[in-house]
A and B are shown apart, each in its own frame.
Chain A
Amino acid sequence: MILFRIALRNLASHKLKSFIVGGLLAFGTFLLMVGQALLGSLDQSMARSVTGSLSGQLQAYSTGAKDKLALFGDMNGGSDIGTINNFKQIRQLLEAQPEVQAVVPQGMDVAMVYGGNIIDVKLEALRAAEKTGDRARSQVVRAHIRRIIALLAQDMAKIGEVTDLAHASTETRQSLADLQNCGADTFWQNFDRDPLAAMEFLENKIAPLALNADMLFFRYMGTDTARFAKEFELFEIVDGTAIPPGQRGFLFNKLNYEDMVKHKTARRLDKMKDRLADGYKIAADDDLKAWIKLNKDQYKDVSYQLDDVAAAQVRGALQQALASKEENLDKLISQFMDMDDQNFSTRYETFYKSVAPHLMLYSVKVGDIMTIKSFTSSGYPTSVNVKIYGTFRFRSLDKSTLAGGVNVMDLMTYRDLYGFLSADKKQEIDALEKASGVKEIKREDAEAELFGGGAGEEVVEVGTVTPTDQAGAVTAAEALAGDPSPAAQAPVGLAVSPSPSAPSVASGGPSSAQSKSKTRRWSDDIANRVYSQDEIDSGVVRHMAIILKKGTDERKALAHLQSVADAAGLKITVVDWRVASGFIGDFLWVIYTVLATALLIIFIVAVIVMNNSMVMATLERTKEIGTMRAIGAQKTMILQMFLAEAVVTAGVFGGLGALLAVALVARLHAVGLPAMNDVLVFLFAGPRLYPVISPMHFLISGMLVALVALISTLYPAWLAMRVTPLEAMQDAE
């Protein structure tokens, strides 16, 4: 006890030294504690984000992989992570292990989808009006289509101004000619003579030229959708329904859906509303200003979609809203979009009340059938139709594009797109294709025949596919199912010839390869087929999520499962979510490294400073130490005295630093650390991180600080132990 008293007194009597050494130790401890608390919470929240959304605690993939699995890292999903063909066997084995709750098959890829095309939609409406004989409606729609064509022609003419059309490709010149042709009055006057031919011409020749037929890219995960929904705790349906178990289907991630599919003007208004709610002001924010400018400049995105009836209504509403007599709709829209902090909320309301109902707000809607294009593993383009059942989100990750950018698709469709077929199945399909005949279809029924029409399903877009490929995909799906339905027995490989003058239906043909043609027969048999668990598990998968039971030690489970898999010769690599997540996992590692480096530097400096000052103190105290030795203090007692001093220094200042850290973390825990961008939203598993300090953090910090103090004490203590009692007598003679 006397030793601690001496230590404390020494500390108090060397104020500057204590201040410097103590400051370093306190700061180091503070940083260590806060860092641990943040990283600990970050690790937990990341675990929640990663394991609860896509990864599961463990992932397994083929040992044949050339690249590492990176669920969140590799945006194109094209890295070679191999394929797994014995998923069923793996699942059975792994799910038999006590720590495993479920194994979910997965495969990530990128899909291409054409964004909605307004001409397609309008032609659909025109066809509906023609079919029901609604003349008035037909005229309105026709006028709208003409107006769109006129705009298209204007744009093409502008291209003509900057490029020499004489050197343009035949295709371009042909397109120009087509536009001029159907922009002319004669085309529309003759429309009623052969409406089907006219509509086909518009559809095949004009629609592909439409302005907003842009390609959308979606990242998606092909998986056992029922198990995915059940096992990933952050998953929840927002709109629509879940994909019925065993059926094909697609679920949009809500954020992805809003960002990619929603009408751009409307989406910008939504984003502005969110940003304004966060306290930003239009007057002082570049993002908001940029969005307003885009909305003003791109008035066509709105006016383009309005037929005359809708245009009149919107014009009236905007005139009222702006108290303006302006007749030009484009100018009205542009003026309306010029919003400021005062009028934003009323205009936002007006937009959704009076304008949005006339717009194609989402180019793809829940319930639609969407054609997804992709390239098979062997490089061939392929496409598959799939029904959109709804949208989902990962709870608390709504705003993060990292998890929010991944959509979900059934495994059967994924396999079709991925195009992985075994050799014998390929043969089977080839045989079926040869056997399939060509079927004559009446022209007025062509649409219905092609798209299983009239069932309230709207075909949004179809990609460019070679007919053989499509036939392969469709027949593959059905052949694999082994379904004795008529469709499977006599698959219909169809390609509508692009030319209205050649209405015959042919299978194959080089011209259809480059044409934008609706070539896929969407059969209810496929859409409504229920695949058995065995069928779902039996095909190829790329990787799988292993969901562990609550409270399982990840590391032990990983080692165990890997050894079990190896023993069974399954050829899979099991990794934990940190590794599987790719750069997200690295991110944590980077923070760790930065923090560790900072701490290392601080503590090295602390050791040097503390060592130095203690050596100085030892030299100053030589006489005192000598005296103690003379009156009977053993060497060990001197050592103890120095150790006590180290412990006291570490205790007092480490404690002070820890106290400050606790105060800061408590404060952060109360208000939360805000996520500044969407990567952080993902890492924080929500908009804010709420760090906590655990007893373990105290223990680790305490030990580290004690270690630092100890190391700095060793040399001075050794010096002190060498002081002889003679030193006490030094001034005698």
Chain B
Amino acid sequence: MNSENLKTSAASAIVQLSHVDKEYQLGKVTVPALHDVSISIQAGEFTVIAGPSGSGKTTLLNLIGCVDVATRGQVIIDGRNTLELKEKELTRLRLDRLGFIFQSFNLVGVLDAFQNVEFPLLLQKTLGKKEREARVQALMESVGIAQYAHHRPGELSGGQRQRVAIARALVTKPRIVLADEPTANLDSVTGTAILDLMQELNRQGTTFLFSTHDPRVVARAGRVIRLFDGRIEQAGTESARADEASAHAAPQAGGQP
């Protein structure tokens, strides 16, 4: 019954975390980062992971982003159990299913905006040149940076850079876009504009998962997951609360009979 439950929720959810612990080893000391975290994120959500510094936001994002592995528990991304995947397969999973937006944009400095956006498609090697360029062009237009296509990141403002980064994250049509404090390095006006853009993209169907401690971002969220000392606190919205309850309930239900 338990396993069936998990299957059904995993099938509908893009991200499914069950009782995840994450510990870091610092010498002989074990530092717990996350404890008993269970989350489920459905397609089309606009979710924020909120919490103070050191609460485990980034660790959680890293586990979902498949750049780190859980110490205990299950992390299922788009129906695949990341614990069972090899490094190479994880990398491919990141490439095909996930999009990343970084706090400090992390563009490749020697490539221009267009090439930065194109880069994941080149790694995928699935699209022909024409199709690829058309997609990049369209995407750059939709995030409003088409005119900067041949500028290097160094020649762009922070907001423009983050738009390039957003386009890069979206170009592979990922199942979910993970954004690690995307507005932290931007002034408030630009930050707002970036949030507007992401919200607009969300309306068009992209699933977003943020980490942030910026209240303005939290205010915009469709759902908030609050972390404190590596544990999930009560969520801030109705839907989030409900989700969390169900996420907690499922294994409990399975564990009781």
The chain A residues found within 8 Å of chain B, CB to CB, are: 2, 5-6, 9-10, 13, 623-624, 627-635, 637, 724-726, 728-729, 731-733
Residue contact B54 to A733, C-beta cutoff 8 Å:
yes
Q: Which of B95, B123, B124, B180 contacts A732 (CB 8 A)?
A: B180
- Give A209 Cβ to nearest chain B Cβ, in Å: 93
Q: Which residues of A contact B122 (CB under 8 A)?
A: 2
- Give A629 Cβ to nearest chain B Cβ, in Å: 7
Residue contact B58 to A732, C-beta cutoff 8 Å:
yes
The docked-state distance in angstroms from the alpha carbon of A9 to that of B154 is 14
B214 within 8 A of A: no
The docked-state distance in angstroms from the alpha carbon of A731 to that of B111 is 22
Q: Which residues of A contact B28 (CB under 8 A)?
A: none
Q: Which of B95, B104, B211 contacts A731 (CB 8 A)?
A: B104
- Give A17 Cβ to nearest chain B Cβ, in Å: 14
Q: Which residues of B contact A633 (CB under 8 A)?
A: 91, 95, 123
Given the known interface contacts A5-B111, A726-B67, A732-B181, the answer about A632 and B58 at a Cβ–Cβ threshold of 8 Å is: no
B32 within 8 A of A: no
Q: Which of A9, A13, A627, A634 contacts B88 (CB 8 A)?
A: A634
Given the known interface contacts A627-B102, A632-B96, A637-B123, the answer about A729 and B180 at a Cβ–Cβ threshold of 8 Å is: yes
Residue contact B109 to A624, C-beta cutoff 8 Å:
yes
Selected A-B contacts with CB under 8 Å, 7 pairs: A6-B111, A624-B106, A627-B102, A630-B106, A631-B119, A725-B94, A732-B61
Residue contact B57 to A729, C-beta cutoff 8 Å:
no
Residue contact B110 to A630, C-beta cutoff 8 Å:
no
Taking A627-B108, A729-B67, A732-B102 as given, write out 14 further A-B residue pairs in contact, using a Cβ cutoff of 8 Å, ordered by the A residue number. A5-B111, A6-B108, A630-B100, A631-B99, A631-B168, A631-B169, A632-B96, A634-B88, A634-B123, A635-B87, A635-B88, A724-B67, A726-B62, A729-B62
Q: Mark B208-222, 1 if CB is under 8 A from A, else 0.
A: 000100000000000
The docked-state distance in angstroms from the alpha carbon of A425 to that of B201 is 115
- The residue in chain B whose Cβ has the minimal distance to the Cβ of A7 is B110
- The residue in chain A whose Cβ has the minimal distance to the Cβ of B122 is A2
B203 within 8 A of A: no
Residue contact B115 to A631, C-beta cutoff 8 Å:
no
Q: Which of B57, B102, B115, B172 contacts A728 (CB 8 A)?
A: B102
Residue contact B95 to A733, C-beta cutoff 8 Å:
no
Residue contact A632 to B120, C-beta cutoff 8 Å:
yes
B92 within 8 A of A: yes
B157 within 8 A of A: no
The docked-state distance in angstroms from the alpha carbon of A306 to that of B35 is 124
B42 within 8 A of A: no
- The residue in chain B whose Cβ has the minimal distance to the Cβ of A3 is B122
Q: Which residues of A contact B57 (CB under 8 A)?
A: 732-733
Residue contact B91 to A2, C-beta cutoff 8 Å:
no
The chain B residues found within 8 Å of chain A, CB to CB, are: 53-54, 57-58, 61-62, 65, 67-68, 87-88, 91-92, 94-96, 99-100, 102-104, 106, 108-111, 115, 118-120, 122-124, 168-169, 172, 180-181, 211
Residue contact A9 to B111, C-beta cutoff 8 Å:
yes
Given the known interface contacts A2-B115, A632-B91, A733-B53, the answer about A13 and B102 at a Cβ–Cβ threshold of 8 Å is: no
- Give B82 Cβ to nearest chain A Cβ, in Å: 13
Q: Which residues of A contact B92 (CB under 8 A)?
A: 632, 634
Q: Which residues of A contact B124 (CB under 8 A)?
A: 632
Q: Which residues of A contact B110 (CB under 8 A)?
A: 5-6, 9-10, 13
Residue contact B119 to A2, C-beta cutoff 8 Å:
yes
Residue contact B106 to A728, C-beta cutoff 8 Å:
yes
Q: Which residues of A contact B96 (CB under 8 A)?
A: 632
Q: Which of B102, B109, B120 contacts A729 (CB 8 A)?
A: B102
Q: Which residues of A contact B103 (CB under 8 A)?
A: 731-732
The 5 closest A-B pairs by CB, nearest first: A632-B95, A9-B110, A725-B67, A627-B106, A732-B58
The docked-state distance in angstroms from the alpha carbon of A719 to that of B134 is 36
The docked-state distance in angstroms from the alpha carbon of A631 to that of B167 is 13
Residue contact A631 to B120, C-beta cutoff 8 Å:
yes
Q: Which residues of A contact B180 (CB under 8 A)?
A: 729, 732
The docked-state distance in angstroms from the alpha carbon of A634 to that of B95 is 9
Residue contact A728 to B67, C-beta cutoff 8 Å:
yes
Q: Which residues of A contact B104 (CB under 8 A)?
A: 731
- The residue in chain A whose Cβ has the minimal distance to the Cβ of B154 is A13
The docked-state distance in angstroms from the alpha carbon of A588 to that of B143 is 69
Q: Which residues of A contact B111 (CB under 8 A)?
A: 2, 5-6, 9
- Give A648 Cβ to nearest chain B Cβ, in Å: 12
Q: Which residues of B contact A6 (CB under 8 A)?
A: 108, 110-111
Q: Which residues of B contact A725 (CB under 8 A)?
A: 65, 67, 91, 94
- Give B243 Cβ to nearest chain A Cβ, in Å: 24
Q: Which residues of B contact A623 (CB under 8 A)?
A: 106
- The residue in chain A whose Cβ has the minimal distance to the Cβ of B90 is A725
- Give B100 Cβ to nearest chain A Cβ, in Å: 5
Q: Which residues of B contact A732 (CB under 8 A)?
A: 57-58, 61, 102-103, 180-181, 211
The docked-state distance in angstroms from the alpha carbon of A724 to that of B54 is 21
Given the known interface contacts A10-B110, A729-B102, A733-B53, the answer about A631 and B68 at a Cβ–Cβ threshold of 8 Å is: no
The docked-state distance in angstroms from the alpha carbon of A126 to that of B53 is 126
Q: Which residues of A contact B53 (CB under 8 A)?
A: 733
- The residue in chain A whose Cβ has the minimal distance to the Cβ of B96 is A632
Residue contact B94 to A630, C-beta cutoff 8 Å:
yes
- Give A639 Cβ to nearest chain B Cβ, in Å: 13
Residue contact B58 to A729, C-beta cutoff 8 Å:
yes
Residue contact B102 to A634, C-beta cutoff 8 Å:
no
Q: Which residues of B contact A9 (CB under 8 A)?
A: 110-111
The docked-state distance in angstroms from the alpha carbon of A624 to that of B103 is 14
The docked-state distance in angstroms from the alpha carbon of A632 to that of B88 is 9
- The residue in chain B whose Cβ has the minimal distance to the Cβ of A629 is B91
- Give B104 Cβ to nearest chain A Cβ, in Å: 6
Q: Which residues of A contact B102 (CB under 8 A)?
A: 627, 728-729, 732
Residue contact B181 to A631, C-beta cutoff 8 Å:
no
Residue contact A628 to B108, C-beta cutoff 8 Å:
yes
Among B57, B100, B120, the most chain A Cβ lie within 10 Å of the Cβ of: B100
The docked-state distance in angstroms from the alpha carbon of A635 to that of B88 is 8
Residue contact B58 to A733, C-beta cutoff 8 Å:
yes
- Give B34 Cβ to nearest chain A Cβ, in Å: 13
The docked-state distance in angstroms from the alpha carbon of A629 to that of B108 is 12
The docked-state distance in angstroms from the alpha carbon of A10 to that of B152 is 13
The docked-state distance in angstroms from the alpha carbon of A733 to that of B33 is 13
The docked-state distance in angstroms from the alpha carbon of A156 to that of B72 is 118
- The residue in chain A whose Cβ has the minimal distance to the Cβ of B172 is A632
- The residue in chain B whose Cβ has the minimal distance to the Cβ of A11 is B110
- Give A636 Cβ to nearest chain B Cβ, in Å: 9
The docked-state distance in angstroms from the alpha carbon of A623 to that of B109 is 11
Q: Which residues of B contact A632 (CB under 8 A)?
A: 91-92, 94-96, 120, 123-124, 172
- The residue in chain B whose Cβ has the minimal distance to the Cβ of A1 is B122
The docked-state distance in angstroms from the alpha carbon of A635 to that of B109 is 20
The docked-state distance in angstroms from the alpha carbon of A9 to that of B119 is 15
- The residue in chain B whose Cβ has the minimal distance to the Cβ of A2 is B122
- Give A551 Cβ to nearest chain B Cβ, in Å: 51
The docked-state distance in angstroms from the alpha carbon of A631 to that of B172 is 10
Given the known interface contacts A728-B106, A733-B54, the answer about A631 and B62 at a Cβ–Cβ threshold of 8 Å is: no
The docked-state distance in angstroms from the alpha carbon of A626 to that of B95 is 13
Given the known interface contacts A6-B111, A637-B123, A732-B180, the answer about A630 and B54 at a Cβ–Cβ threshold of 8 Å is: no
- The residue in chain B whose Cβ has the minimal distance to the Cβ of A6 is B110
Q: Which residues of B contact A13 (CB under 8 A)?
A: 109-110
- Give A510 Cβ to nearest chain B Cβ, in Å: 99
Residue contact A630 to B65, C-beta cutoff 8 Å:
yes
Q: Which residues of B contact A731 (CB under 8 A)?
A: 103-104
The docked-state distance in angstroms from the alpha carbon of A144 to that of B120 is 108
